[in-house]
């Protein structure tokens, strides 16, 4: 049976550009620490800095703002840790943020919630309310405020520019989790002006094991990883040079506006079709903003049937999807994102497309979805 992968928001296949760049580097056979001054070390350093420049160009920032990490999760933790070392005050964070953001914030100290609406969106008024609540509870504003670029589960795009501007005017550090959005829509970090931004390579077709924390120029934070002077003393440990090269190759490809625009249009075509297919099945709803959304993510609520059997039924039909509820992850809890939106966190499916998605993948979903849901409802009745 042919397999059809519709879980690109979890991780997407390695792009040919990344594979070719990594293979070419491996073929050179150069092994050295980029921090060494011998010839081999300088060659590795040159390759690493070329990758840094390419990643920086994708996000419209200076290369020295890029701190390579092991991925988005480490970048988030580094952002929270660094902010906490500057100021141990409370953190403002919404429940629609990724678990890496929520958990690292909770570990750092008191968390002041930022409310979200039924689309999973926070707005500037909610941010202002959170700041005032923090003042009332703790006698001071938060030391750090999180606002994701767009939601990883329902795709809703956040008013990130307005939130960052409000934080800037109030002197509050801002962190933007751009992992879900980067590589799928233009992410101009330079224009945004956030203090800290987290990104990951494997979500946009780069290799697993590499990400970056983008640090605003002039901002100094303590490193999360210590024990060495790598990354300008901002992240200890020998850099993953091959992965950085792959990240750089993908970033260079996506820096071409025509490619990013073409992939965005293709993703919208696929997800519009998925939304239409789902809408033909009674009791199925689409979560998130219908307009201001990421092009590649669709989150469905399925009335009357829990997510696990639907996911398994689709998998048996050759279609891989994801659910935010306990059935498909290590968690034993329903989706906190959907709960924060006020909808059922136990009966959701997330479908996501990517650079390698074909019409046949969506065809397979169309062929299986109604039959799977209908069969399960018949069993319940």
> What is the structure's pLDDT at 331?
56
The pLDDT tens digits for 59-86 are: 999 999 999 999 999 999 999 999 999 9
Reported as a pLDDT band with limits 50, 70 and 90, residue 327 is: very low
> What is the structure's pLDDT at 326?
44
- List alpha helices for the chain, DSSP H: 16-28, 39-58, 72-86, 99-108, 124-138, 160-170, 189-192, 230-233, 241-254, 257-279, 307-316, 336-341, 359-380
Domains of the chain with bracketed CATH: 4-13+257-380 (3.90.1150.10), 16-254 (3.40.640.10)
Distances (CA, A) of 100 to 92, 235, 270: 14, 18, 29
Structural tokens at position 88: 């141990």
- Closest Cα partner for 337 from 158, 175, 144? 158
Mean pLDDT of 233-244: 97
Reported as a pLDDT band with limits 50, 70 and 90, residue 380 is: confident
Neighbours of 374 (CB within 10 A): 13
> What is the structure's pLDDT at 328?
42
Active-site hit among 134, 147, 299, 327 = 327
What 8-state DSSP symbol labels residue 64? G
What 8-state DSSP symbol labels residue 150? B
The chain-wide mean pLDDT, for the chain, equals: 95
Structural tokens at position 170: 């109030």
The pLDDT tens digits for 247-287 are: 999 999 999 999 999 999 999 999 999 999 999 999 999 99
With a cut of 60, say whether residue 222 has pLDDT above it.
yes
Give the predicted TM-score (pTM) of the model: 0.96
Question: Is 93 one of the catalytic residues?
Answer: no
Reported as a pLDDT band with limits 50, 70 and 90, residue 324 is: low
């Amino acid at each position: 049976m042919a397999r059809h992968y519709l879980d690109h928001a979890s991780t997407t296949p390695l792009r040919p550009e990344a594979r070719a760049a990594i293979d070419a580097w491996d073929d050179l056979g150069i092994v050295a620490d980029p921090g060494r001054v011998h010839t081999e070390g300088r060659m590795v350093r040159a390759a690493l800095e070329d990758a840094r420049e390419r990643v920086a160009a994708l996000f419209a920032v200076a290369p020295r703002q890029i701190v390579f990490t092991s991925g988005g999760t480490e970048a988030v933790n580094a952002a929270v840790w660094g902010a906490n070392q500057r100021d141990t005050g409370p953190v403002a964070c919404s429940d629609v943020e990724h678990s890496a953001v929520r958990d690292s914030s909770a570990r750092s100290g008191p968390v002041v919630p930022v409310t979200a609406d039924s689309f999973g969106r926070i707005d500037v008024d909610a941010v202002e309310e959170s700041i005032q609540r923090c003042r009332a509870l703790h006698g001071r504003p938060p030391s750090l405020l999180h606002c994701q670029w767009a939601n990883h589960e329902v795709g809703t795009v956040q008013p990130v520019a307005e939130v960052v501007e409000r934080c800037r005017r109030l002197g509050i550090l801002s962190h933007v989790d751009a992992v879900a959005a980067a590589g799928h829509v233009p992410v101009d970090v330079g224009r945004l002006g956030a203090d800290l931004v987290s990104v990951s390579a494997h979500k946009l077709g780069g290799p697993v094991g590499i990400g970056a924390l983008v640090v605003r120029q002039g901002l100094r934070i303590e490193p999360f990883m210590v024990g060495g002077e790598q990354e300008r003393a901002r992240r200890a440990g020998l850099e993953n040079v091959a992965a950085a090269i792959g990240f750089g190759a993908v970033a260079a490809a996506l820096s071409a506006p025509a490619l990013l625009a073409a992939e965005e249009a293709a993703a919208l075509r696929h997800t519009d079709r998925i939304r239409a297919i789902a809408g033909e099945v009674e009791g199925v709803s689409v979560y998130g903003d219908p307009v201001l959304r990421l092009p590649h993510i669709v989150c469905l609520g399925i009335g009357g049937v829990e997510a696990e059997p639907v996911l398994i039924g689709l998998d048996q039909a050759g279609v891989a999807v994801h659910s935010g509820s306990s059935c498909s992850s290590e968690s034993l809890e329903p989706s906190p994102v959907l709960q924060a939106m006020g909808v059922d966190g136990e009966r959701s499916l997330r479908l996501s497309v990517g650079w390698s998605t074909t019409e046949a993948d969506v065809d397979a979903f169309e062929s299986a979805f109604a039959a799977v849901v209908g069969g399960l409802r018949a069993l319940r009745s």
